[in-house]
Each structure stands twice: as structure tokens, then as C-alpha cells.
């Protein structure tokens, strides 16, 4: 449309110079991802993509020169051949999409961004580990429904939402006696070992926060993540990113950092942030030596009680895949997906369609075949 023009930022220095424009757009967007702040996008770029071809596509209002939408991507080779644009996403940070101003039609602005990406020669845009509820993902869905583009929405996993109540009594009203006894007994058993307490590090001095975080990294390295090499301490880029994230969120007042200590020793922690009345839990872990005492559940109950008492949040985003442990706390969930979108040419549309065809073929091949002999045996058994 004539009222917009696009801009492509290709260097970290150029992006750093655009902090005011990015921050203005970020503040206008109704979303709870504090990791989309300019300083943390820079930190992500430096930690995970220092040698990648990064492109930040920006849509600008011609009349005001105000940013309307922005989408950070990096170049990825599909099948080691076809250039594609990929969102910022890693196992240590839930996938980031982009920012879309609510004051403009999201479908129109997203189409403009996709056209900008197409001009760079990319064959497809891929979002990984993104929420189905994300405004940009919703706009892509509407674009696909209109028939103007081809899009694949691949379900990855459900993410737990711990919906909070006005009081702890209301939050636990539907718990079974067994569940109540389990939480109470876990705290009592810890008390038999030593003196335990929860610390709210986000309200402590910065030196205490740094010291506690170093202990938390040690706790994580002792668990299963340390055993398979996926802990932060063993990954320099991820470790650097979280150090910058910790400091920035502390400075903005959005940090929410809790530890459970037993006789002064950290045995569990929950690191996250608070934005738009959503408490996002980025990293949790507990000391494997105390597994039988369920320190993770003890800490989680205390964190929930703290958030309820302070009336700071409406729900907790658990970020990771819904599992047997966090399912006990989550009454709702949202869908995490991979989204593949075609760009502005026939070959791009064919590429995206072929991705779905290959997935269908793979699913069929993985299905257990029913042989003639097996069918005959089944009939004889009957």
C-alpha cells in the first residue's frame, strides 16, 4: 500500500541505532513477551546468531515515519539448498515472531512484511515454537484462509497456563485430599531435614541476585540437563544471553526470581518475568539430591501464593511443554506451533505445499502396516 514503505536492517549496529523506534512499537503492542524488548533482541542476536545473515524487516508509516510492524529473521537453508527466512528461536528461548501495531490492520501489514522478505530471495518464512495466539500468527492464519498464500500450521505441543485466583483457598478449592496432603507433607519433610525458606531475589540487591544465579546454574548442571549437555553452564551463548536477560529485567523491574533454600543452600529456583499481568516462567530446576522431597512443587506453591497475595498476575505462562509435573497446576493451555508461509511466487507456494506432502508421507510410512498375513491371523483368532 502507498501509505507504507519497508526497510530491511541487516547489521547489528544498524539495529542498535533503532532502539527508540523499536521500543515505541514494542510499547504499543499488547503482548506479554518481555523477551521482545530491544535490548534482549540485541542480546539474542549476539548470543545465538553472531555469524548468521540476520534481516529485520520493518514496515514504516509514510506520513509519520512511525514503525508499524517489525520482524527479525535469519537466513536458513531448507534441505541445505533453498534460502528461507527463520524466526529467532532456540531451545533456551521460546520462539519470537515480531511486533505488529494494533492501530493498523494486521493482515495488511503482515502481507507487506512477507513481500519484503520475498524480495531478499527467500523461498519461505518459518516460525518455530510460536504461540497460536500470537497476533502475527493469527494474521498469517487469516492470510492463508483468504487464499492469497499457502501456510502450514504444524502443532508442536501444548503449553500450560496456571490460571490464578483471588485467594489461595479459591485456587486449591478443587484439589483432592491426596493432593493437599502431598504438598503439605513435602514441606514437612523438608522441615525435618533442615530450615527452609523461599527468597524473592527480584527485590534483593543486584550483588545477591548475581550470587544466587551462579548457584542456580550449579543446580541445573547437576540434573538431567547437565548430564545431556543442555544446561546453560555448558552453552556459552545461552549462558551469556541469560546473564544479560537477568540484568535487563532486574533494571526494568520486570524480573521475577525465586529460590528455595534449605539451610542456606539453593535446592530449587524459578526464573522469569512479569509483563501485562502475565508471570512467565523461563527457567526452573531443582537439586537432584532432594528429588524425594519434591522441592519443585514446594517452590511452585510458594510462588503462586506470592503472586496471589500481591495481586500481580492473572496467570502464569509455564513456557515449556505441558507434562505430568506442571499439568497438576495448569487448568488451561495454549498451542505451540511451527508455521510455514509462502512468499510471492509460484515456486515458494510449491515449496510450502511440498513440506506438508512430505509430512503426510512420513506419517503414513511410520504407521504400522497391516499385512495380509496379519489380517488372516486376526480373522483366525476371532
CB neighbourhood size of 313 (10 A): 22
Q: From CA 276, how far away is CA 33, in angstroms rounded?
A: 9
User: What percent of the chain has a predicted confidence (pLDDT) above 70?
Assistant: 96
Distance of CA 355 to the CA centre of its chain: 24
> What's the mean per-residue pLDDT of the chain?
92
pLDDT tens-place string over residues 254-271: 999 999 999 999 999 999
pLDDT tens-place string over residues 179-198: 999 999 999 999 999 999 99
What is the arithmetic mean of pLDDT over 362-374? Answer: 69
Grid look-up 489380517 returns: 375
What is the arithmetic mean of pLDDT over 194-217? Answer: 97
Helix ranges (H only) for 132-286 are 135-145, 168-171, 177-193, 206-222, 224-228, 236-252
Grid look-up 529467532 returns: 88
Task: Identify the weakest region by mean pLDDT among 123-132, 273-282, 290-299, 359-368.
Answer: 359-368
User: In the structure grid, which three cell numbers stand for residue 178, read together?
Assistant: 491426596
CB 35 within 8 A of CB 93: yes
DSSP code of 96?
A: P
CB neighbourhood size of 41 (10 A): 23
Q: From CA 382, how far away is CA 380, in angstroms rounded?
A: 5
Q: Please, which residues have CB within 8 angstroms of residue 374's CB and are 6 or more apart in sequence?
A: none
pLDDT tens-place string over residues 46-84: 999 999 999 999 999 999 999 999 999 999 998 888 999
Q: Please, which residues have CB within 8 angstroms of residue 326's CB and are 6 or more apart in sequence?
A: 160, 162, 318, 320
Residues in the chain: 382
CB 319 within 8 A of CB 91: no
Distance of CA 42 to the CA centre of its chain: 17
pLDDT of 95 > 90? The answer is no
What is the arithmetic mean of pLDDT over 344-369? Answer: 88
- CA-nearest of 111, 103, 101, 158 to 139 is 111
pLDDT at residue 299 in the model? 97
pLDDT at residue 368 in the model? 63
Q: From CA 284, how far away is CA 89, in angstroms rounded?
A: 19
pLDDT at residue 7 in the model? 97
pLDDT of 376 > 70? The answer is no
pLDDT of 374 > 80? The answer is no
What SS3 state is found at 16?
A: helix
Domains within the chain, CATH numbers bracketed: 4-157+336-366 (3.40.630.30), 165-313 (3.40.630.30)
Query: Is residue 367 very low, low, confident or very high in pLDDT (cuts 50, 70, 90)?
Result: confident
DSSP code of 368?
A: P
Beta-sheet pairing, 82-87 with 125-131: parallel
Query: Is residue 378 very low, low, confident or very high in pLDDT (cuts 50, 70, 90)?
Result: very low
What is the arithmetic mean of pLDDT over 116-128? Answer: 95
pLDDT at residue 188 in the model? 95
- The beta strand positions in 150-244, using DSSP E, are 151-163, 196-200
Q: From CA 304, how far away is CA 321, in angstroms rounded?
A: 19
Residue 83's beta-bridge partner residues? 77
Q: From CA 18, how far away is CA 70, in angstroms rounded?
A: 11
What is the b/e burial string over 283-306, where b = at least 16 CB atoms within 10 angstroms of the residue's CB? bbbbbeebeebbbbbbbbbbbbbe
pLDDT at residue 2 in the model? 52
Amino acid at each position: 500500500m502507498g501509505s507504507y514503505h519497508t526497510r530491511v536492517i541487516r547489521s547489528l549496529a544498524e539495529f542498535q541505532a533503532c532502539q527508540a523506534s523499536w521500543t515505541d512499537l514494542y510499547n504499543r503492542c499488547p503482548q506479554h513477551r518481555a523477551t521482545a524488548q530491544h535490548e534482549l533482541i540485541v542480546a539474542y542476536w549476539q548470543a545465538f546468531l553472531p555469524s548468521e545473515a540476520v534481516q529485520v524487516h520493518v514496515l514504516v508509516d509514510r506520513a509519520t515515519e512511525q514503525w508499524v510492524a517489525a520482524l527479525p529473521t535469519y537466513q536458513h537453508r531448507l534441505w541445505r539448498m533453498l534460502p528461507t527466512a527463520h524466526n529467532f528461536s532456540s531451545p533456551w528461548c521460546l520462539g519470537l515472531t515480531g511486533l505488529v501495531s494494533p492501530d493498523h490492520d494486521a493482515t495488511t501489514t503482515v502481507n507487506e512484511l512477507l513481500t519484503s522478505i520475498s524480495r531478499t530471495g527467500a523461498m519461505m518464512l518459518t516460525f518455530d515454537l510460536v504461540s497460536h495466539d500470537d497476533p502475527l500468527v493469527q494474521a498469517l492464519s487469516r492470510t492463508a484462509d483468504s487464499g492469497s498464500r499457502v501456510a502450514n500450521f504444524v502443532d508442536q505441543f501444548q503449553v500450560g497456563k496456571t490460571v490464578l485466583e483471588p485467594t489461595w483457598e479459591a485456587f486449591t478449592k478443587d484439589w483432592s485430599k491426596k493432593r493437599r496432603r502431598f504438598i503439605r507433607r513435602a514441606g514437612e519433610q523438608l522441615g525435618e531435614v533442615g530450615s527452609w525458606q523461599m527468597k524473592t531475589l527480584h527485590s534483593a540487591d543486584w550483588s545477591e541476585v548475581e550470587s544466587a544465579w551462579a548457584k542456580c546454574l550449579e543446580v541445573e548442571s547437576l540434573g538431567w540437563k547437565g548430564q545431556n549437555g543442555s544446561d546453560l553452564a555448558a552453552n556459552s551463548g545461552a549462558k551469556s544471553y541469560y546473564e544479560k536477560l537477568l540484568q535487563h529485567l532486574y533494571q526494568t523491574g520486570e524480573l521475577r526470581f525465586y529460590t528455595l533454600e534449605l539451610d542456606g543452600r539453593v535446592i530449587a529456583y524459578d526464573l522469569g518475568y512479569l509483563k501485562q499481568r502475565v508471570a512467565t516462567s523461563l527457567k526452573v530446576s531443582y537439586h537432584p539430591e532432594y528429588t524425594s522431597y519434591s522441592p519443585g512443587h514446594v517452590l511452585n506453591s510458594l510462588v503462586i501464593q506470592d503472586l496471589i497475595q500481591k495481586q500481580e498476575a492473572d496467570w502464569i505462562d509455564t513456557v515449556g511443554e505441558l507434562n505430568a509435573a506442571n499439568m497438576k497446576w495448569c487448568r488451561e493451555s495454549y498451542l505451540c506451533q511451527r508455521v510455514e508461509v509462502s512468499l510471492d511466487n509460484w515456486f515458494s507456494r510449491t515449496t510450502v505445499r511440498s513440506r506438508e506432502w512430505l509430512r503426510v508421507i512420513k506419517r503414513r510410512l511410520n504407521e504400522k502396516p497391516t499385512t495380509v498375513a496379519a489380517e488372516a491371523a486376526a480373522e483366525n483368532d476371532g
